Amino acid sequence: MSNQIDIIKNLIENTNGKIASITFKKRTGKQEVTTRTIRTGVKRDVIGVGQKYNPSDYDLITIFDMNRDNGPGKERGRHLNIPLDSIIELRCGKIKYTTDKVI
């Protein structure tokens, strides 16, 4: 793991459930960049089974995307795994961390 990935992972984990904004490159193969409003530590829709793999083994971090639209009549929000090496910017409170990635 690179030093930059360690920094990003620590920053996200230390948000302690505060609302944050994250900008990252999507895994679609295109040069799509998206910004999401996220939180960590959200237990909604977690049924206790857990994931079948450990996201950190694959340099992923699990977050809760607060604005994800789940369809008509359903609450907004969904858990996502984001690759740590695709993160471009993280904002939380007065903290703004921007990587040196070229988009």
Supply the range of the domain harboring residue 51: 3-98
In a domain, 53, yes or no: yes
Mean pLDDT, the chain, integer: 80
Contacts of 92 (CB under 8 A, 6+ apart): 11, 15, 18, 19, 20, 21
Q: Please indicate, yes or no, if residue 103 is contained in any of the structural domains.
A: no
pLDDT at 43: 66
What pLDDT sits at residue 1?
A: 47
Q: How many domains does the chain divide into? A: 1
| Whole-structure pTM value | 0.75
Asked whether residue 22 is domain-assigned, the answer is: yes
3-state secondary structure of 93: coil
In a domain, 28, yes or no: yes
- Give the 3-state secondary structure of residue 59: coil
CA pair distance 68, 60, nearest whole angstrom: 19
